[in-house]
Chain A
Amino acid sequence: MSLQLKPVTRLQLFLKEFIMRNSDRSFPCRQRRGTKLTTRAIFFLFTLPAVLLYLYFIVYPLLNGLYYSLTDWNGVGRSYQFVGLANYYKIFHDKTSLSVVGRTFLYTLLLTVICTALSVFLAILLNREMKGKSVFRSIYFFPAVLSSITIGLIFNQIYNSLLPQVGSALGIGALSHSLLSSGKTAMWAILFINVWQGTALPTVIAIAGLQAIPTEIRESAKMDGASAWQEFCHVTLPLLMPTVSVIIILNVRSGLMVFDYIKATTDGGPGFATMSIAMEIYKHAFTDMKFAYSSAESTVTFLLITVIAIIQLWCSRVKE
């Protein structure tokens, strides 16, 4: 194994010396086994800070959470007892929990379908040659730049104060009440916010994906007499599949973990109408003083998302 680049900085010079000193023949001739290990060791040392941070901030809390999920700690008290898998048993037998999971799944499905379709459609439009192309692209990307809580709070005001005024002025009964105050319409209102922001980034990804399709293929399809729709279905879409699967994965993840928009608007209400999995985990941990139960819910959600991710990757590999 040899250093491919010429040492430029002093650090690299130092390393080269250090490695050379540990070999009894000059660099770049064949090195002894010991040196291979030492080189590897140095590279490992370089990654150590990142690894340590990752272990401390991601792995340790994960394992800690797993441990707490096997207890009955309420999040505040000094003492707790070990209860084994009792929390997990409760999760699968809690009616409200199951309806929350169902609601989150439905939300995710709708979000993914709408966002993916919309972003591909917008990408095709924004990929055409026209005046002000980059201006339009910036405008459509803008929602992704704002923080989700900010957008949630702004839409909260729109739904609670602005729309009812508009609705009653125009005489539309359905709009005269805040959309967030009825259990039937609240989740749809939040879905709209999520779609509004969630289409921005996938659109840009889809544009990049479209640009990777060579134009010759499209032109040859046109010459063979394919209509725009046929061209899209049989030429563009198959070649766009890798990008589309990335977009789907992003949307599914964002849909399953939806929290910010709900917290900023209805906080799970009215009743339990806008409770999502993430909202429930938060509520159980910090409001209901059921920290251990919440940890168990987190673990189950983690496994659920992992399974979904594996299925998605397998599906997209099969498609390719």
Chain B
Amino acid sequence: MKKKLLAVTLSAAMTAALLAGCGLASTGSPADTDAEDVSADAGAEGTSDTKDADGKIHLEYFNVKSEVTGIYDTLIEKFEEENPDIEIEQVNVPDPTTVLQTRMSTGDMPDILSHWATDPVFKEMVNNDMLVDLTDQDFMKNVKPDMLDGVEYDGKAYCLPISTNAAGIFYNKDIFDQNGLEVPTTYEELIADCQKLKDAGIVPFAFFNQDSHSGQTVELLQVSDIPDFEDAFAKIYDGSAKVSDYEGFRTAAEKIVELNQYAQDDPFGTTYEQAISDFANGETAMIIGGIWMIPTINEDNPDLNYSTCAFPASEGMTTKVPYQNDHCLAISSTCENKEAALKFLAFMAEKENAQYYADQDGSPSYIEGVENNNEASAPLLQYFETGEDIGIWPDQLWQPGMIDSLNSYADELVQSGDVDAYLENIQSVLSGQ
């Protein structure tokens, strides 16, 4: 009898544990709860928003840009005040692009997501009908028309573009003044400046090689070093040209190895956040990066006297500033509450809110009437006024998935210094093998 009681109790415990697991899974995320509600209704294309148990509509906003989570916290609060029946949960996880890709393949797309409008993975989402077509929405009229073409596919807009970015060198004005350095206009001048700093005992650059800084910097170098790089990548992929046909790949590789000689101690042990913090606290004179770093630098050290400059090309070549759509919002086609999601996008397209975002982020906005008040990014943004001498980030031209291998090979290059092996490796990746 005792044995039987024990057996029954244990089986009951096991069953309870199993069911508890099931119960937890179904109340996992707000989007899931909505899905349950909808399945009970007729649930057409989600045109009627379904409310949750507490009478509110829950949306999940998956944000891949960790620098702006603070900005969104404030904006979401304001949106929820204006729309008391909608609640938005911002989700920002480490390694967001991999997580998003996994969610894409399992069909578990978030309601609203942020991304980069020209990114290969974004194109993949558009091609697979994963995003809602926003072309005819009223709020899209707020977007500057000449900038809108750059983010459209076949004349249709699948996202609300928010801001664009530009890249170059951030430099510490105080350190430069103290050492009598001027803003370099050629690559040779930059290296001379670095040598002077090194001799004076100051670390020239902060590199965050642990977070793929090598790969990113190589791309930046390629924009200036390879005059027709947009063509080049297309030709290498379809096989009509090779990496070895373009001198620029080699010079970019040699430059990244040289630049790393002016890095801080242990760049491969330094993360992105750590490197920015090192620059912001005056431990290094410069950091190579883009204006997306501005919010973090300002947070780390609001008193830092810094500015930006374009990364100079070699003597005789044209300096170009890399740029791309830095941030955009999209709605997934599996969202159950599309009207509420559209309201949030309309909110973000309002001039007032876009201005707040631009002020905090320092990046040029796509929305009409928004002014860019950020001093630090001014030297880079003047390149956009003429529209010449800017180049799109190379990784926007690659196939989805290439960037990871190319970043790893760039890391290998910096560790070993072996330029020939690097060029062979990128040849096989860029040609699609």
Please list the residues of chain A having a beta carbon within 8 angstroms of any beta carbon in chain B: 74-78, 90, 94, 96, 160, 164, 176-178, 180-183, 268-273, 283, 286-291
Evaluate whether A270 and B411 lie within 8 angstroms (CB atoms) in the complex, with A164-B266, A164-B269, A181-B268 already known: yes
Contact A289 B269 (CB under 8 A): no
Contact B101 A76 (CB under 8 A): yes
A residues within 8 A CB of B102? 286
Among residues of A, the one whose C-beta sits closest to the C-beta of B268 is A181
A270 to B104, CA, bound (A): 27
The reply on B116 being an interface residue by CB < 8 A is no
Contact B265 A269 (CB under 8 A): no
A238 to B402, CA, bound (A): 52
Cβ-neighbour of A269 out of B98, B128, B408, B413 (below 8 A): B408
B residues within 8 A CB of A75? 101, 105
Shortest C-beta distance, B153 to chain A (Å), equals 15
Contact B412 A272 (CB under 8 A): yes
Contact B400 A182 (CB under 8 A): no
8 Å CB interface, B128-151 against A: 128-129
A287 to B404, CA, bound (A): 7
A74 to B101, CA, bound (A): 11
Shortest C-beta distance, A71 to chain B (Å), equals 14
A120 to B425, CA, bound (A): 44
8 Å CB interface, B394-433 against A: 399-402, 404-405, 408-409, 411-413, 415-416, 425, 433
Evaluate whether A271 and B266 lie within 8 angstroms (CB atoms) in the complex, with A96-B425, A181-B210, A289-B101 already known: no
Cβ-neighbour of B265 out of A160, A177, A183 (below 8 A): A177
Evaluate whether A76 and B105 lie within 8 angstroms (CB atoms) in the complex, with A268-B408, A272-B412, A289-B124 already known: yes
Contact B266 A181 (CB under 8 A): yes
Of the candidates B266, B416, B425, the one having the most CB atoms from chain A within 10 angstroms of its own CB is: B266
A90 to B433, CA, bound (A): 8
The reply on B127 being an interface residue by CB < 8 A is yes
A182 to B267, CA, bound (A): 10
Contact A78 B405 (CB under 8 A): no
Known: A268-B408, A270-B268, A289-B101. 19 other contacts (CB 8 A): A76-B124, A96-B425, A176-B266, A180-B269, A181-B269, A182-B268, A269-B411, A270-B412, A271-B409, A287-B101, A287-B401, A288-B401, A288-B402, A288-B405, A289-B124, A289-B400, A289-B401, A290-B401, A291-B105
Among residues of B, the one whose C-beta sits closest to the C-beta of A282 is B98
A126 to B300, CA, bound (A): 53
A residues within 8 A CB of B129? 78
A residues within 8 A CB of B409? 271-272
Chain A binding surface SS class: loop
Contact B412 A183 (CB under 8 A): yes
Please list the residues of chain B having a beta carbon within 8 angstroms of any beta carbon in chain A: 98, 101-102, 104-105, 121, 124-125, 127-129, 209-210, 265-269, 399-402, 404-405, 408-409, 411-413, 415-416, 425, 433
Among residues of A, the one whose C-beta sits closest to the C-beta of B405 is A288
B residues within 8 A CB of A94? 433
The 3 closest A-B CB pairs, nearest first, are: A271-B412, A181-B268, A288-B401
Contact B401 A77 (CB under 8 A): no
Evaluate whether A74 and B401 lie within 8 angstroms (CB atoms) in the complex, with A164-B266, A181-B269, A289-B101 already known: yes
A286 to B404, CA, bound (A): 11
A270 to B210, CA, bound (A): 7
A residues within 8 A CB of B411? 269-271
Cβ-neighbour of A76 out of B104, B267, B413, B416 (below 8 A): B104
Shortest C-beta distance, B165 to chain A (Å), equals 23
A90 to B429, CA, bound (A): 13
B residues within 8 A CB of A177? 265-266, 268-269
Shortest C-beta distance, B90 to chain A (Å), equals 23
Shortest C-beta distance, B260 to chain A (Å), equals 12
Among residues of A, the one whose C-beta sits closest to the C-beta of B124 is A76
A289 to B267, CA, bound (A): 29
Contact B408 A77 (CB under 8 A): no
Contact B415 A271 (CB under 8 A): yes
Of the candidates A76, A176, A183, A288, the one having the most CB atoms from chain B within 10 angstroms of its own CB is: A76
B residues within 8 A CB of A77? 124, 127-128
A269 to B125, CA, bound (A): 28
Contact A286 B101 (CB under 8 A): yes
A residues within 8 A CB of B121? 289
A271 to B411, CA, bound (A): 5
A residues within 8 A CB of B266? 164, 176-178, 181
A residues within 8 A CB of B98? 286-287
Shortest C-beta distance, A182 to chain B (Å), equals 7
Shortest C-beta distance, A83 to chain B (Å), equals 13
A182 to B404, CA, bound (A): 19
A residues within 8 A CB of B105? 75-76, 286, 291
